[in-house]
Amino acid sequence: MKVHLPEPRGLAPRLAVLCLPVAAALVLPSALAVAATNGSGSTVRAVVGGDGSVKSVKVYAPDGSMSSFNGSMPLKMSISRSVSGNTSTYTYNVENTFTKTQNVSYTDTAGKSHTFSQTLQLPIVAQLGVEVPKTFKNVATTDGVVLTDPDGTNRVLWNLVLFSPLGSPTQTLTFTATGHGVPTAELAADVVDPATTSGLSSSSQAATANSQQDDFWTSFATGGNGGLSQLSSGMGQIVAGLSKLHDGLGAAVDGANKLDAGTAQAAGGSHQLTTGLGKIHGGQSALTGGLSQISGGLGQLADTKTGLPAASAGVQQLIAGIGAILAGVGDDATAKTLVNGVDLVNGGISALYAGIKASAACTADVLTKLVGPSGGTAPGADPCAPTGLPATPDMLTADPAAAAVLKAPAVGVIAQFQAVAAGTDANLPSAFAQLTGGLTLIHDGLSHPAGAAGPTDLGGVAQGLQAVKAGLGQLQTGLAAANAGISALNTGSQKALSGSQQLTDGSGQALVGSKKLSSGLDQLSAGQHQVAAGLPAAVSGVKQLLDGSTQVKTGIDAVQSGAVAPLQTQLAQGSQNAKKQIAILTATAGLSSQAPGGAQATYVLTQSPNGFALAASTSKSSDNTGRNIGLGLGGLAVLVIAVVAGFSLGRRSSTVSV
């Protein structure tokens, strides 16, 4: 059998070939002729010459009456012979000449109507038989079946479907043989309705089922494509956020380095201040011992521009400055102070770390549910999906190639995100621990109770400044007293001595406060140095996380563009092709009623004027007619089954343009 289907692949050609011997065995030579006497319609019988040209045409009614045929035969057969040595090749070109071009319409899955121009053929199935005299030897054909009678006569049979899309309207058949004689050919054909004929109608049903299946999977592919778009968008936002965090930490590194240098300079200045206060304290002691020499100096001390009154005003300004510094250092509860700011930064870093872990957990959860089957979650059971998720299959099972593309990078990424969420990542926990530890040292350097680290602990910067402020207050008091003593020099040197003693005590306290300030600044410098040393590790960790997130987004985009989106397009095109084929079959069925000779007419083209074993019998007395009809219909059914199997399995390989 030679059937031209739309480029079938794989199993379809093999099924068709397997059906050929069975069909040929069932369609016995005598059955080829009895189509004309099946009682369902008229038989149009044409006698043809050696080249296939029509010589005469008669119409036989079901009751056996004969009349002339005034229409046009919907079939044409041309016969030719070529010789090479002792071998003759006989070629039979069979053509369905009844064609009609009309508009065909169908509606796709989206509800859009499509109309296209299509050339249709009268739905004809036929069988060509050639009786080869026994004088011929080595009879062979590549696209038909050769049967040999007991007397040595050979019969070559071909089953034909002469309309698209189930077959081809034009088919060329050949056989070769050696010897001499004249083969006799006969072509018997029936007009069928592909929408109702048993076997052929299943092609429309198969196309409908394929269309529904493609529509079903298209909905899944569409949902998967949308989900990947959202996931890609979310990963893009994560990448953008990590990029900003990376840039911010880079700026923080620069700021921490500058702050580290500044605190080191402040600590050095504090040591110089302590040295200076020590000298002041020694000088004040010498002043106390040299009060006997103050008569000349008292006049200078009383001077309002260069003496003690100006010094008192300077101390007052120093006290005000120290107070402003203390207010800026602040404490844990006072907003917009340095200590409170360190607490807020420390808390923000902890919240940032918790947020990164939560984001990593949700990202791992989403990727796990994407690449593997999910049992679903109840509402509220999954913090990444508070409204709950239904149970879903592995969406990539239908496409192993897409599964390999997605799962290979996804496994490593899921493991990395799970490590971040569990706090077992190699870099991020230690980096945040160093950052938090450094801020804690800064906090303690700025403010902690004196003696907290041992008897020699003078407290933080705030405590040192309090001591300095207290010492300056006493110094101011001493200066006021000295100023009063100078003003009341006549009250006696004892009052001057007493005031000088108070000044000595105040300078001693100032020296102690300065030492505490130096110690606090040393601690502040050490803590800030740890912060500056720890931030580069945090920057490196965020950079690794940023690179990983970028790779995840790239992988998601690759899966979407390389697998899901093309699959969605392919499924939609397959559904559209099936709907178009259904529309063509439906339109072809409409031509059945327009057949010359009637809707159920049978056509016979024969080289035998009086008929022969393959020809249609007009005799009513044949006792084998019923048996022959049954055998002929059985062979035709096998032919139809083979065609439908090839059509159904090969449909997806066809390409139809709308």
Q: Which residue has the tokens 């580069």?
A: 536
- Which of 587, 600, 651 lies closest to 7 in space, CA to CA? 651
Top-confidence residue, 261 or 600: 261
The per-residue pLDDT for 294 is 64
Q: Is the pLDDT of residue 404 over 60?
A: yes
Report whether pLDDT(290) > 50: yes
Q: What are the backbone angles phi and psi of residue 200, rounded to the nearest 5°?
A: -65, -35
Query: Mean pLDDT over residues 405-417, rounded?
Result: 78
What type of residue is 293?
Answer: Q
Give the sheet arrangement for strand 87-96, strand by strand.
Answer: 75-84, 87-96, 170-179, 136-140
Mean pLDDT of 63-89: 93
Which residues, including other chains, have CB under 8 Å from residue 233's CB and lie 6 or more apart? none
Interval 359-384: pLDDT, tens: 888 887 777 776 666 666 778 677 77
Bridge partners, residue 67, by sequence: 59
Q: Which span out of 233-247, 553-567, 639-653 was modeled with the highest average pLDDT?
A: 233-247
Report how far residue 553's alpha carbon sits from residue 232's, in angstroms, rounded to the nearest whole number.
Answer: 6
pLDDT of residue 116: 92
The whole-number pLDDT of residue 19 equals: 41
- pLDDT digits over 7-54, tens only? 333 443 333 433 433 343 333 333 333 333 344 578 999 999 999 999
The amino acid that residue 138 corresponds to is N
pTM above 0.85, yes or no: no
- For residues 163 and 169, what is the distance between their CA atoms, to the nearest angstrom? 5
Q: Are β-strands 124-132 and 113-121 bridged in parallel, bridged antiparallel, or unpaired?
A: unpaired
Query: How many Å separate Cα 554 from the centre of its chain?
Result: 10
Residues 6 or more apart whose Cβ sits within 8 Å of residue 137: 177, 178, 179
Q: What is the pLDDT of residue 394?
A: 60
The better pLDDT of the pair 511, 52 is held by 52
**What average pLDDT score do residues 256-272 get?**
87
d(CA 251, CA 276): 37
Q: Which two tokens stand for residue 489?
A: 């020099």
Q: Which residue has the higher pLDDT, 327 or 309?
A: 327
Burial class (CB in 10 A: 0-12, 13-18, 19+), 570: middle
> Which of 331-335, 619-623, 654-658 shows the lowest mean pLDDT across its residues?
619-623
**Model confidence pLDDT, tens digit, residues 586-595:** 888 788 778 8
CB 12 within 8 A of CB 649: yes
Question: What tokens appear for 379 in the block?
Answer: 């509402």
Band (pLDDT 50/70/90 cuts) for residue 201 is low
d(CA 275, CA 272) in angstroms, rounded, equals: 5
Q: Are 238 and 359 in contact (CB under 8 A)?
A: yes
Average pLDDT over residues 518-533: 87
pLDDT band at 76 (very low <50, low <70, confident <90, very high): very high
Residue 220 has pLDDT above 70, yes or no: no
